[in-house]
Structure 1
Amino acid sequence: MSSRRGSFLDGARTVAPVMVGIVPFGLVAGAAAVRVGLSGLHAVGLSVLVFAGASQLAAIELLGDNTPAAVVVVTVLVINLRMTMYSASLAPYLQEFSTRWRAAMAYILTDQAYALSVAEFRADESVNRKWYYLGTAVPLWVVWQICTVVGVVVGARVPDSLPLQFAVPLTFLAILVPTITDSPSAVAAGVGGSIAVVGSGLPLNLGLITGAVTGVVAGLVVETGWFR
């Protein structure tokens, strides 16, 4: 088995290029929070507690619109349903570790950490899985929290003409495109994305929720052959 230090550093080196998209993403999250009226403490607390960029931004938008708390919670849960699928995919590789370790890994799970780790686990059976995973996930957590704090501090000073918000879709596109490897994933991405765009004007972020749910269902229909 690879050494702990070596596997951790390998994971950290692999995730390093992803930081280019994470930095502006975190800045946007911090700046958006203070712009809708959240205090710096609340913004940082939300970042530490939730630690999920897309759902954080959705929650911040809804909180800024004085949306009922129940709707905010449901929106966050729906957006993060993909983490359940990520966890199920990683479980066979991490089942040998204690419940405490797996709980910690679950907390720092992100799209990027999942994609990079599962690819490495499939390609190299000798890698120290726990430490490689931590090498990809921990730097992301640290950079995200730092950037959120910086966004909170300087967010009000960033001119509206600076399109930091484009970092969010670009980051997810960079993760999404390599994962579209078959018909079910292509259908899920196409259907979910199209419905989310069409419904972008719906209140309470319902367009995003509808797109996410419909995309998952469409992918399952193709994968299982229900339409035949």
Structure 2
Amino acid sequence: MAASTPRTAYWRGFRAALPFTIVVGPFGLLFGVVGTEAGLDVAQVMGFTVLVIAGASQFTALQLMQDNAPTLIVIASALAINLRMAMYSASFAPHLGRAPLWQRALIAYMNVDQTYALSHADYEAAPSQSVAAKAAYFFGASTPIIPVWIGASALGIVVGEAIPPALALDFAVPITFIALITPALRTLAHVAAAVTSIVMAILLGFLPWNLWLLFAGLAAMMVGAEVERRMGARP
């Protein structure tokens, strides 16, 4: 890849992120609808959307709240799902650790599955880019994603029950994660972690309050780390 200026990197990230709006929009719209149907008011739904910006944990927390799960379980489940954000941040550190503090703060706020996946792939493909170009790419990828997520959630509040069930907006949830995860399964450790999470989720699906999420995620991280350790120990 040719040398990239911050300006060209920004627009490259912007163009790369555009296809994700096809699923991010319905995903956000669905949360707006489900949130209002669950009894949350406008401020609560938008607070969820703007402050958390993590659809999977938002839906999980909302479902547990509807099931009257203990507050500790709601918080622990949401945090467990969002642990991946800590790993995202750690993998960004070599690339963006020298960016200005205000940029790192914004990146931390907008570091979601889509912006991470796109940016990390770009950094891996062209690691010699300047820090400014790498930050610009991330902000370019964030420009279509974040406003669409927030705007779609707000629209979901407004339209609410006017959306017919036949539209099946929940298609956006699995499609989003399939599109993100599949290209990332590049090593045996990645595959082992993914398979472990699937198997554990199926085996532990009977647990109340979606506790299978906690155990499946923990088991997947342990298996993935152990496989990577053993592969690294090979001569």
> Structure 2 length normalisation: TM-score?
0.90
In structure 2, C-alpha distance between the alignment counterparts of 1:150 and 1:174, rounded to whole Å:
24
Is 2:60–2:77's contact at 8 Å kept on the other side of the alignment?
A: yes
Is 1:83–1:109's contact at 8 Å kept on the other side of the alignment?
A: yes
Q: How many pairs were matched up? A: 227
Query: Structure 1: where are the runs of 5+ without partners?
Result: none
Give 2:68's aligned residue.
66
Give 1:139's aligned residue.
144
Give 2:114's aligned residue.
112
Give 1:77's aligned residue.
79
Deviations 1:31-52 (A, max 9, x none): 1111111112210111001010
Q: For 1:16-165, list aligned pairs within 5 A.
A: 16-124=18-126, 125-126=128-129, 128-165=133-170
> Structure 1 length normalisation: TM-score?
0.93
- AA aligned opposite 2:123: F
Is 1:188–1:216's contact at 8 Å kept on the other side of the alignment?
A: yes
- AA aligned opposite 2:159: V
Instruction: For residue 38 of structure 1, give the secondary structure of its aligned residue in structure 2.
Output: coil
Give 1:220's aligned residue.
225
Q: Give yes or no for the alignment of 1:192 onto 2:194.
A: no
Query: Structure 2: where are the runs of 5+ without partners?
Result: none
Is 1:196–1:209's contact at 8 Å kept on the other side of the alignment?
A: no
In structure 2, C-alpha distance between the alignment counterparts of 1:13 and 1:204, rounded to whole Å:
39
Identity %: 37
- Cα offset for 1:3? 3.4
In structure 2, C-alpha distance between the alignment counterparts of 1:33 and 1:201, rounded to whole Å:
25
